[in-house]
Structure 1
Amino acid sequence: MTTSQYPGAAAQQPAYGSTPAYAQAPYAPAPYAPAPFPGYAGQPMPPAPAGAYFPPSGPIGKVRGTGVAILLMIVTFGIYSLVWTYSVHDEMKRHTGNGLGGGVALLISILFGVASPFITSSEVGNLYERMGRAKPVSGATGLWAFPGFVILVGPIVWFVKTNGALNAYWRSLGAR
């Protein structure tokens, strides 16, 4: 059945290509409506100011004991560091919706291991910045791990700082 078979259907629907009745009258805001923002005129929204608070939208991550993690890295000859990298980045990505995610971080860690400490510390610092807090670690914290391929003190300092900051962040949101 077509619309012409119903009584009054032709009067309700405009002819093809014509302007409907609701679009013919110019738009006029109600007298009590506030004026539009000055200078808006369809321009894109300005970026959020630095330090703006963005509430987390995903689940809270797991607190991992720093000493236990270091012990597991030693016992597994470094394999646990890959598990830790994947898990931490996956949790941060699910929590905020931003970041590399576990798979990409693991791939970077395997292919470009030197870059991994810089990226991980930067993403942990971004968690704090996103909440409007001061960053306890940043990409520069990764410099602790750089000379540590020969001397293990640097990577341990990097891991203690980064994992400690991440654990403190999760605890501040109620993780145990």
Structure 2
Amino acid sequence: MEITINRATRQDIRTLQEIGTTTFLETFAEVNSEQDMKAYLEESFSIAKLTAELENKDSQLYFALYEGRVIGYLKINLGQAQTEKQGLDALEIERIYVLKEFHRQKVGQLLYQKAIDIAYEIKATYVWLGVWEKNHRALAFYEKNGFVTFDQHIFRLGSDEQTDLMMKKVLSGVGESAIA
């Protein structure tokens, strides 16, 4: 299965909106109220919000494509775009989402590796992210990749306040290739 990773552009706004809402629904609809999901999706995946994300010089979005079809995506933040200020030497992975039918096919790992490669390119000293404390699948994925919990924060999904664990991975040999 050959998967390519391409950077999303302003022309990809509708595709980004579609993959974002679809993967978020697949991941969280069963464990959240319909009202909270609707409110979150309308705010977070509006054309205006996605346009601002794509136009922010400190944010980057990438699609995972299989046979020309977008099957997942990655959003990273640098500098002032980070959702929590961690430092200019950090890279935030804000989102890695993959269509459910492509889970367990290493798509998330490829998107993750893209983020790590960029972190090395920009000489970041660490990568961090927030993950819902009840998203055990994601927690296991990040722990397997060397992340450790260092704090927590509140993530608002509609009217529901949820706890995200903040995790980070310190990069060794900054400036070296991320792939041996």
Normalised TM-score (structure 2): 0.26
- Which of the two has greater helix per residue? 1
Normalised TM-score (structure 1): 0.26
- Of structures 1 and 2, the larger Rg is shown by 1
